[in-house]
Amino acid sequence: MVGAVLVPTAAAGSTAPPAITVDGAVLADGTPQGVPDGWVVTHPAPGVYRLVSGEPRMTVDVPRWDVVADVTIVPLGSGGDEIRFIDQGLGVDSDFSFTATVPR
Protein backbone atom coordinates (compact mmCIF):
# COMPACT_ATOMS: atom_id res chain seq x y z
CA MET A 1 0.00 0.00 0.00
CA VAL A 2 0.93 3.67 -0.07
CA GLY A 3 2.96 5.33 2.70
CA ALA A 4 2.25 8.79 4.04
CA VAL A 5 3.93 11.51 2.08
CA LEU A 6 3.84 15.05 3.45
CA VAL A 7 4.42 17.47 0.59
CA PRO A 8 4.40 21.23 1.16
CA THR A 9 2.78 23.03 -1.77
CA ALA A 10 2.13 26.69 -2.48
CA ALA A 11 1.01 28.72 -5.45
CA ALA A 12 3.76 30.57 -7.30
CA GLY A 13 4.16 34.07 -5.90
CA SER A 14 1.92 33.24 -2.95
CA THR A 15 2.75 34.55 0.50
CA ALA A 16 0.47 31.99 2.16
CA PRO A 17 2.20 29.16 3.98
CA PRO A 18 2.30 25.97 1.91
CA ALA A 19 -0.39 23.32 2.24
CA ILE A 20 0.42 19.85 3.53
CA THR A 21 -0.53 16.94 1.28
CA VAL A 22 -0.90 13.43 2.71
CA ASP A 23 -1.07 10.40 0.41
CA GLY A 24 -2.30 7.35 2.30
CA ALA A 25 -4.51 4.30 2.03
CA VAL A 26 -7.06 2.30 3.98
CA LEU A 27 -7.63 -1.46 3.77
CA ALA A 28 -11.18 -2.79 3.37
CA ASP A 29 -11.29 -3.73 7.07
CA GLY A 30 -10.52 -0.09 8.06
CA THR A 31 -6.80 -0.56 8.76
CA PRO A 32 -4.95 2.65 7.81
CA GLN A 33 -1.75 2.53 5.77
CA GLY A 34 0.59 5.52 5.86
CA VAL A 35 -1.66 7.74 7.96
CA PRO A 36 0.22 10.33 10.04
CA ASP A 37 0.35 10.05 13.83
CA GLY A 38 -2.71 11.60 15.44
CA TRP A 39 -5.02 10.82 12.51
CA VAL A 40 -7.79 8.30 13.15
CA VAL A 41 -9.53 5.98 10.69
CA THR A 42 -12.73 4.18 11.72
CA HIS A 43 -14.97 1.75 9.82
CA PRO A 44 -18.39 2.09 11.51
CA ALA A 45 -20.52 0.29 8.90
CA PRO A 46 -20.19 -1.62 5.63
CA GLY A 47 -18.80 0.71 2.97
CA VAL A 48 -18.32 3.60 5.43
CA TYR A 49 -14.93 4.93 6.56
CA ARG A 50 -14.19 8.03 8.65
CA LEU A 51 -10.86 9.80 8.32
CA VAL A 52 -10.26 12.32 11.11
CA SER A 53 -7.21 14.58 11.20
CA GLY A 54 -8.41 17.33 13.53
CA GLU A 55 -7.76 19.87 10.75
CA PRO A 56 -11.14 21.52 9.97
CA ARG A 57 -10.03 22.80 6.54
CA MET A 58 -8.84 19.41 5.28
CA THR A 59 -10.04 18.27 1.86
CA VAL A 60 -9.93 14.64 0.73
CA ASP A 61 -9.85 13.03 -2.70
CA VAL A 62 -10.16 9.27 -3.32
CA PRO A 63 -8.47 8.50 -6.66
CA ARG A 64 -8.53 4.68 -6.39
CA TRP A 65 -10.73 1.99 -4.87
CA ASP A 66 -10.92 -1.76 -5.48
CA VAL A 67 -14.62 -2.55 -5.91
CA VAL A 68 -17.37 -1.65 -8.33
CA ALA A 69 -19.06 1.15 -6.40
CA ASP A 70 -19.86 4.83 -6.36
CA VAL A 71 -17.78 6.80 -3.86
CA THR A 72 -19.05 9.81 -1.95
CA ILE A 73 -16.92 12.02 0.31
CA VAL A 74 -18.89 13.83 3.02
CA PRO A 75 -17.07 16.53 5.04
CA LEU A 76 -17.81 16.14 8.75
CA GLY A 77 -16.88 19.74 9.58
CA SER A 78 -14.68 18.89 12.54
CA GLY A 79 -11.50 17.98 10.76
CA GLY A 80 -12.73 14.78 9.23
CA ASP A 81 -14.41 13.27 6.22
CA GLU A 82 -16.65 10.26 5.75
CA ILE A 83 -15.94 8.15 2.67
CA ARG A 84 -18.84 5.97 1.48
CA PHE A 85 -18.79 3.17 -1.11
CA ILE A 86 -22.23 2.18 -2.43
CA ASP A 87 -23.21 -0.45 -5.01
CA GLN A 88 -26.88 -1.02 -5.84
CA GLY A 89 -27.95 0.81 -2.69
CA LEU A 90 -25.72 -1.19 -0.33
CA GLY A 91 -22.48 -0.25 1.38
CA VAL A 92 -19.50 -2.29 0.16
CA ASP A 93 -16.08 -2.51 1.78
CA SER A 94 -13.05 -1.62 -0.31
CA ASP A 95 -9.34 -0.95 -0.10
CA PHE A 96 -8.76 2.64 -1.23
CA SER A 97 -6.11 5.31 -1.53
CA PHE A 98 -6.64 8.95 -0.65
CA THR A 99 -4.98 12.33 -0.91
CA ALA A 100 -5.73 14.77 1.90
CA THR A 101 -4.75 18.43 1.66
CA VAL A 102 -4.49 20.60 4.74
CA PRO A 103 -4.01 24.35 4.18
CA ARG A 104 -1.55 26.05 6.53
pLDDT in tens, 7-42: 445 555 656 668 889 999 999 999 999 888 889 999
Percentage of the chain beyond pLDDT 70 is 84
Residue 74 sits in which domain range?
6-10+17-102
What's residue 98's pLDDT?
96
Q: Is residue 41 part of a domain?
A: yes
* Count of domains forming the chain: 1
Q: Is residue 69 part of a domain?
A: yes
Q: Is residue 66 part of a domain?
A: yes
**Is residue 4 scored above 90 in pLDDT?**
no
What's residue 56's pLDDT?
85
The secondary structure of the chain as a DSSP string is -PPP-EEEE--TT--SPPEEEEEEEE-TTS-EESPPTT-EEEEEETTEEEEE-S-TT-EEEEEEESSS-EEEEEE-SSSEEEEEEEETTEE----EEEEEEE--
What's residue 46's pLDDT?
98
What's residue 14's pLDDT?
57
What's residue 9's pLDDT?
52
pTM: 0.81
Q: Is residue 1 part of a domain?
A: no
